[in-house]
Structure 1
Amino acid sequence: MILIEVLAAIVIWLSFWSLIPRDEWWFRGADFPRLQILAVGFITFVLLLFWTAPWDWIRGVILLLLIAALAFQLKMVLPYTFVWKKQVKQVTKDQLNLDQQISVIVSNVLTPNNKYHLLIEQIEKHHPDIVLTLETDQTWQNQLSSIEKNYPYRIPVPLDNLYGMHLYSKLKLQDVEVKFILSDEIPSIHCSVILRSGQPVQLYCLHPKPPSPTEAKDSTLRDAELLMVGDQIKDLDESCIVMGDLNDVAWSRTTRLFQRISGLLDPRVGRQYVNTFHADYKFLRWSLDHLFHSTDFALVHMQRLPHIGSDHFPIYVVLQTGRIFEQVQDELEQSDADEQEAQQAIQEGIEKAEREEKMVTDEIAQDYKMN
């Protein structure tokens, strides 16, 4: 009985811990394993409910708090199941138009992973218009050279710090910029891709640092980078796609705020989780790799691809744009409070980036004086 009560207490604590508005990793980390917390919570609920020991007030209080915790977790994860209303319409057979489509593979390859052929096999199987690789260094760039004959437009950013990225495209790319938004170590790719119909689509490829004890101590820069891009998108009257390993889950406060600020839609809502990390642990997975798009896109196809030796699964998404979809799909509503929260997070991120840059500059200056 004590073990059941301890499990219930852990589920209750983790469920409401993430509601604390703090950016430190030990708070934000509770956003990730909501499915796992929910599973443990349901098992604990059944055991607590049917335990043969006599009821007392402690058991009753724990049961009520556990029900509240489970209800909260369900609220967060149910939108990514078939029971929820789809946020993005499905393109029907009679609506298919290849000239208005764009197909994408997004893959965090894990830099030390040397199973290059597994990703190449998936690219050759699906023939996507766009391939975005993350954590790719010069070695990965060399190994992927075999696909270059089919991808004449390329944006290589090879880095050895686990934040390199490469964009390969069959479609013409314009207005290409590689930006280091808040950190000189973290690149992002911003460009315009031209569909076969001639329509331009704004493309943003991101891979911010996760809040963790081995990466960033808090989520401040990650949140600010995502919200800065969202703030930029909201003023655009153009087709738009944001994709990459955002090191955040779809149901987090920041990701949902980003959607409301940017007006972009998530094709997973009303369909499936598409959990991409961790590829090696079946019962410890959540969605870190994302693709969001403007309301003029509808979904043709979406799937998680097989294991490629990385700790992430690749994702494959096919979208089609059209005015008819824009007329039947609505943006998430943004409130004044959302705007205020986003601007505050952006400002905190800018200030933190400036402090970190100053610290680095001061250290360099100090080393110069000592030498």
Structure 2
Amino acid sequence: MLALLEPVFVLIGVWGLFAALAPKLRTEIWWMRIWVYGRLQTCLILFAALGLYLALYPVGDIGTATLLMAYAVGLSICALDIWPYLPGRKRELRRARPGSPGTPLSVLLLNVLQENEDHAAVLARIRDSDADIVFLSETNARWRAALAPLEADYLHTFLLDKEDHNGLLFYSRHPVTRTQERYLCQDHVPSLTMDIDLAGREVRLYCIHPRPPRPRDDTQHLDDELMIVADELREQHRPALVIGDFNEVGWSWMVKEFKQHGGLCDPKRGRGLYNSYGAKSPFLAWPLDHAFATPHFDLTRICRLRPCGSDHYPILYGFHLRPGP
């Protein structure tokens, strides 16, 4: 029986090593990049299989040592990717001190899932969050109509309802001084560039929802969109946030390069993973919804709110804009 099980452990080791290494190759091939998402899940599977293998089989020959090395390498690569996000690690954005001077700004992000029909739950989460900025993706005309009551509370809006999971709804309590509807890489994938007046200071918001790595959407477009935004951030010095469903995790090589090139901070580092995708399948969950900030901001909170019919959880960020020119 143990002899029959041994090939299974070999296959798990080979898969784990491939899943760990494939996303490191900086390729645009979608089926190699998708393995970057489930770093935590890969760690758990490899750790459990390794422990079981050591309990069942003697260690001694070269074949066993090679297999254990494959497990160790795959496990280490995946663990190192998520390590900076675990609580207690170094934070890129410091916590705002109570009573410190500046202006608070709360941002709620949610991919509503276009097929989701639980409008009341989404509306309830938005109202409970009491966020200053609400940015929703995958919103069509049905969603725009269902969320029309929000327009009484949020006087500054940009409502772009589209089919094919490309709609974007933006609500703000702060005045919007400039709005751009943009198609940075693909003519069917919009993004919004907004300037808001935050207590007399102009803050730039990039609201994006690039397509995920998949056969019908080349990952080059995802990469190019992020780098266009990063290039623009390098040329301007005002406070800025880049928000939305990135369809990428923060530890991917692309997002790390985008963040570094644009001079941005990831509030989740040192605070937790805050998995936002996977509301309907908790084991297959990873953080896809992000709010990256320039160093002008401190952080007051990150909250993952209760699910509301979507496959994404709502994520609430609390920022604090420090005084400055």
Query: What does the per-residue CA deviation read over 1:106-157, in whole Å, with 9 as the maximum and x for residues that have no partner?
Result: 1100111110111111121121111101000111011101111010101011
Match of 2:45 in 1: 40
1:69: how far off?
1.6
1:211 to 210, 213, 221: 213
> Aligned pair count?
320
> Of 10, 14, 19, which residue of structure 2 is paired with 1:14?
19
Matches within 5 A, 1:185-204: 185-195=188-198, 197-204=199-206
Flag structure 2 segments of 5+ consecutive residues without an equivalent: 1-5
Q: Which runs of 4+ in 1 moved over 4 A?
A: none
Q: Compared with structure 1, are the counterparts of its residues 61 and 323 closer, same or farther at alpha carbon in structure 2 (3 Å cutoff)?
A: farther
Secondary structure of 2:311 counterpart: coil
The TM-score, its normalising length taken from structure 1, stands at 0.83
Query: Do structure 1's residue 75 and structure 2's residue 80 form an aligned pair?
Result: yes
Distance 1:131 1:19 in 2: 34
Bigger mean CA deviation after superposition, 287-296 or 38-47: 38-47
Distance in 2 between the 1:110 and 1:189 partners? 19
- What pairs up with 1:209-288 in 2 under 5 angstroms? 209-213=211-215, 215-216=216-217, 218-288=218-288
Q: CA RMSD in A?
A: 1.5
Amino acid aligned to 1:247 = N
| Aligned partner of residue 93 in structure 1, secondary structure | coil
Secondary structure (helix, strand or coil) at the match of 2:204 reads: strand
Question: 1:15 is matched by which residue type in structure 2?
Answer: A
> What CA distance in whole angstroms lies between the structure 1 residues aligned with 2:32 and 2:7?
26
The aligned counterpart of 1:128 is: 131
Shift of 1:262: 0.2
Structure (1/2) with the larger helix percentage: 1
Retained in 2: the 8 A contact 1:48–1:63? no
Structure 1 gaps of 5+ residues are 327-371
Q: Does 1:164 align with 2:164?
A: no
Q: In structure 1, what is the Cα distance between the partners aligned to 2:176 and 2:278?
A: 32
Measured in 2, the distance between the counterparts of 1:36 and 1:142 equals 38
Deviations 1:240-299 (Å, cap 9, x if unpaired)?
000001111111010000011000100000001111112100100001111000001011
Partners of 1:4 and 1:47 within 8 A in 2:
no
Distance change in 2, residues 1:287/1:239 (3 Å): same
User: What residue is the counterpart of 2:3 in the other structure?
Assistant: none
> Counterparts of 1:44-55 in structure 2 under 5 Å?
44-53=49-58, 55=60
Q: Give the Cα–Cα distance (whole angstroms) in 2 for the partners of residues 231 and 252 of structure 1.
A: 19
The TM-score with structure 2 as length reference comes to 0.95
Mapped to 1, the partners of 2:185 and 2:24 lie a distance apart of: 26
Moved more, 268-277 or 53-62: 53-62
Aligned mates of 1:284, 1:29 — CA distance in 2: 12
Q: 1:55 to 1:300 in 2, by over 3 A?
A: same
The 2-side partners of 1:54 and 1:240 are apart by 54
How much does 1:49 deviate?
A: 2.7
> What is residue 148 of structure 1 aligned with on the other side?
151
SS of corresponding position for 1:292:
strand
Shift of 1:323: 4.8
Following superposition, the deviation at residue 54 of structure 1 comes to 5.4
State the 1:236 CA deviation. Answer: 0.9
The worse-fitting range, judged by mean Cα deviation, of 151-160 and 47-56 is 47-56
Amino acid corresponding to residue 111 of structure 1 in structure 2 = Q
